[in-house]
């Protein structure tokens, strides 16, 4: 009987203990469910905050990128416009200077032509009074000084100082009355004054007989040829000078006599590479030389303009290359933003599924989730993942 009571009491204690354990297990299960729910809510809130921060960061980054691109474009546009305005100003300035110099040249030519006309009138009046000229230039030294002074006056009035030199000594030791510094291929041209006046007057002496005048004519031709030989032998020194020289005859009447009635003397001078000129024709030669020098200066200015335009072309090519690079960067940045939006959308979808307790995903979705967990976006084409 006592054993039965003992067994009954033991059973009762065991049942009470089991009941207590069942109650404790129920309480623990409820507590676990509460903890899991709280943890899920906390994770959901954190994930939502992360998504919110991500969206805000992407929006700010996009705004900063747009602002930076806008500033860069404005700076490039401003730089290009400033450069174009500067180059346009230089070109306009150079063209204005060229037109101004051209107008000055034409004005100077017209003024020189008027001076030539006046000088021609004065020379015509002088040729009518040969006796007074003979009295003024009685000896060779006076005639030489007169020719040199007239030559210097003509050259000084037409050419700039850097284009000529008076009483220039050549490398062979001979001194020439004047040299002209012309641009290549002409180079330096020697000009020497000669005045064969004595026999010229004898040719027109009415008191002399025909034989004397004929003899004077032969002597006059001999004098001119001697001057030609002297100039050719002393003042043509290639390559220091050009292969020709100029013989300046200060009197228009003597020059006209030579070219009108002594063509053999002119041919002889041409063979010796000596060009005979008078004050009028020398002025034409000097004006031509002046025009050549002006043309050289103009070509130099054109060369500068051409260089500036070439630099402008290079700047445009460089600008085009940089614009292409900028377009590529913008395209890549746009692609990166699209990829980030895709990833953000997928993360949002995953959180929505977790929130809806969609834990039993199909096999295809599981594979996609595994791919995403490895950092691979299945919707991004291969080759753009690094962007």
Give the residue extent of every domain in the chain.
134-277
Cα angle for residues 310, 312, 316 (degrees, 5° grid): 115
How far apart, in whole angstroms, are the C-alpha atoms of residue 376 and residue 379?
A: 9
Question: Positive or negative, the Cα torsion across 287, 292, 295, 297?
Answer: negative
CA distances to 4, 61, 267 from 387, rounded to whole Å, are 83, 16, 88
How far apart, in whole angstroms, are the C-alpha atoms of residue 351 and residue 364?
A: 18
| CATH number assigned to the domain with residue range 134-277, chosen from the 4 options 3.90.1720, 3.40.1350, 2.40.30, 3.30.1150 | 3.40.1350
Element (H, E) at 134: helix 130-136
The closest of 244, 265, 120 to 200, measured between CA atoms, is: 265
How far apart, in whole angstroms, are the C-alpha atoms of residue 194 and residue 231?
A: 10
The pLDDT score that the predictor gives to residue 168 is: 92
DSSP secondary structure letter of residue 162: G
Q: Is the peptide bond before 185 cis (omega within 30 degrees of 0)?
A: yes
- The three-class DSSP label of residue 147 is helix
**248 beta partners:** 193, 277
Q: Cβ neighbours of residue 272 under 8 Å, at least 6 residues apart?
A: 228, 229, 231, 232
Strands (E), the chain: 164-169, 175-181, 188-193, 245-248, 274-277
How far apart, in whole angstroms, are the C-alpha atoms of residue 218 and residue 50?
A: 120
- The three-class DSSP label of residue 183 is coil
| Contact by Cβ (8 Å): 146, 137 | yes
- The three-class DSSP label of residue 180 is strand
The pLDDT score that the predictor gives to residue 127 is: 63
Residue 150, burial from CB neighbour count under 10 angstroms (0-12, 13-18, 19+): middle
How far apart, in whole angstroms, are the C-alpha atoms of residue 22 and residue 165?
A: 130
How far apart, in whole angstroms, are the C-alpha atoms of residue 351 and residue 349?
A: 5
How far apart, in whole angstroms, are the C-alpha atoms of residue 228 and residue 131?
A: 27
The pLDDT score that the predictor gives to residue 387 is: 38
The pLDDT score that the predictor gives to residue 195 is: 83
The pLDDT score that the predictor gives to residue 341 is: 83
| Contact by Cβ (8 Å): 76, 325 | no
Q: Cβ neighbours of residue 95 under 8 Å, at least 6 residues apart?
A: 305
Element (H, E) at 181: strand 175-181
Residue 286, burial from CB neighbour count under 10 angstroms (0-12, 13-18, 19+): buried
How far apart, in whole angstroms, are the C-alpha atoms of residue 288 and residue 296?
A: 12
CA distances to 10, 98, 128, 212 from 131, rounded to whole Å, are 177, 50, 9, 19
In tens digits, the chain (387 residues) has pLDDT values of 667 777 777 777 777 788 778 787 888 878 888 888 787 788 888 878 888 888 887 888 878 888 888 888 788 888 888 888 888 788 888 878 877 888 888 788 888 888 887 877 777 766 665 555 555 555 667 777 888 888 999 999 999 998 999 999 999 999 999 999 988 888 899 999 988 888 888 888 778 788 888 898 899 999 999 999 999 999 999 888 999 999 999 988 889 989 888 899 999 999 999 999 999 999 999 999 898 888 888 877 777 777 888 888 888 888 888 888 888 888 888 888 888 888 888 888 887 888 776 544 444 444 544 554 444 444 444 443 443
The pLDDT score that the predictor gives to residue 46 is: 82
Q: Cβ neighbours of residue 322 under 8 Å, at least 6 residues apart?
A: 76
The pLDDT score that the predictor gives to residue 132 is: 54
The pLDDT score that the predictor gives to residue 129 is: 56
| Contact by Cβ (8 Å): 258, 203 | no
């Amino acid at each position: 009987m006592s054993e039965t009571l003992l067994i009954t009491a033991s059973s009762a204690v065991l049942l009470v203990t089991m009941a207590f354990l069942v109650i404790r297990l129920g309480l623990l299960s409820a507590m676990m469910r509460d903890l899991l729910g709280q943890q899920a809510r906390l994770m959901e809130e954190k994930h939502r905050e992360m998504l919110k921060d991500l969206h805000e960061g992407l929006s700010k980054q996009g705004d900063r990128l747009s602002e930076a691109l806008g500033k860069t474009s404005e700076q490039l546009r401003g730089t290009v416009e400033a450069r174009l305005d500067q180059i346009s100003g230089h070109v306009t300035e150079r063209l204005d200077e060229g037109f101004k110099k051209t107008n000055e040249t034409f004005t100077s030519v017209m003024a020189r032509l008027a001076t030539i006309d006046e000088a021609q009138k004065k020379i015509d009046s002088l040729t009518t009074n040969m006796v007074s000229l003979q009295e003024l230039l009685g000896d060779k030294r006076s005639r030489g000084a007169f020719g040199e002074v007239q030559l210097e006056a003509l050259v000084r009035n037409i050419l700039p100082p850097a284009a000529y030199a008076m009483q220039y000594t050549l490398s062979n030791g001979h001194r020439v009355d004047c040299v002209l510094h012309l641009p290549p291929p002409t180079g330096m041209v020697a000009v020497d004054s000669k005045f064969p006046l004595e026999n010229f007057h004898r040719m027109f002496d009415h008191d002399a007989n025909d034989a004397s005048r004929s003899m004077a004519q032969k002597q006059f031709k001999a004098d001119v040829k001697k001057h030609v030989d002297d100039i050719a032998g002393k003042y043509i020194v290639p390559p220091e000078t050009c292969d020709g020289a100029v013989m300046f005859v200060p009197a228009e009447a003597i020059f006209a006599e030579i070219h009108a009635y002594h063509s053999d003397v002119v041919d002889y001078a041409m063979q010796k590479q000596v060009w005979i000129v008078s004050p009028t024709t020398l002025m034409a030669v000097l004006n031509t030389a002046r025009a050549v020098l002006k043309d050289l200066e103009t070509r130099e200015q054109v060369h500068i303009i051409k260089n500036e335009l070439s630099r402008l072309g290079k700047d445009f090519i460089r600008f085009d290359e940089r614009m292409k690079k900028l377009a590529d960067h913008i395209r890549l940045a746009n692609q990166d933003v699209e990829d980030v939006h895709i990833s953000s959308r997928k993360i949002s979808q995953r959180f929505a599924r977790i929130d809806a307790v969609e834990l039993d995903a199909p096999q295809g979705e599981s594979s996609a989730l595994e791919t995403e967990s490895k950092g691979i976006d299945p919707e991004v084409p291969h080759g753009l993942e690094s962007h």
